[in-house]
Amino acid sequence: GQSLEQPSEVTAVEGAIVQINCTYQTSGFYGLSWYQQHDGGAPTFLSYNGLDGLEETGRFSSFLSRSDSYGYLLLQELQMKDSASYFCAVRSGKLIFGQGTELSVKP
């Protein structure tokens, strides 16, 4: 089957750095994406990795290792507004999402 595994919850303090891991097992692979969702609203795109390595976009970075079927999202200088659910997603024909990681940022 096809599956993506990510932690269900992560807690961190304001100003800290947090890493959300994602491992995947899919029949095909055309890239790993990350999405953010606040309180059941519209998910918004954060980043995409099609090749191995690190992609940086402001405070957010995403990493991919295709040989390990693994990626992560790194959030730096955490702010309260970063409290949200974060989903990894793999393009394997259709776009398959993980279960989501709920990030709580404490003051």
Partner 1 sequence: KAGVTQTPRYLIKTRGQQVTLSCSPISGHRSVSWYQQTPGQGLQFLFEYFSETQRNKGNFPGRFSGRQFSNSRSEMNVSTLELGDSALYLCASSLLLQGPGELFFGEGSRLTVL
The binding site for partner 1 (CB under 8 A) comprises 4, 30-31, 33, 35, 40-45, 48, 50, 87, 89, 91, 93-100
Of the two residues 16 and 95, which places its CB atom closer to partner 1 in the complex? 95
Closest to partner 1 by CB, 32 or 78? 32
Strands, DSSP E only, in the chain? 3-5, 9-13, 18-25, 32-37, 44-49, 53-57, 60-65, 70-75, 84-92, 94-97, 101-106
Cβ 79 vs Cβ 89: under 8 Å: no
Distance CA 105, CA 83 (A): 5
Nearest distance from residue 28's CB to partner 1, in Å? 10
* Residue whose CB is less far from partner 1, 2 or 13: 2
Least CB distance from residue 14 to partner 1, whole Å?
26
**What pairs with residue 54 in β-bridges?**
63
Q: How far is the CB of 91 from partner 1 (least distance, A)?
A: 6
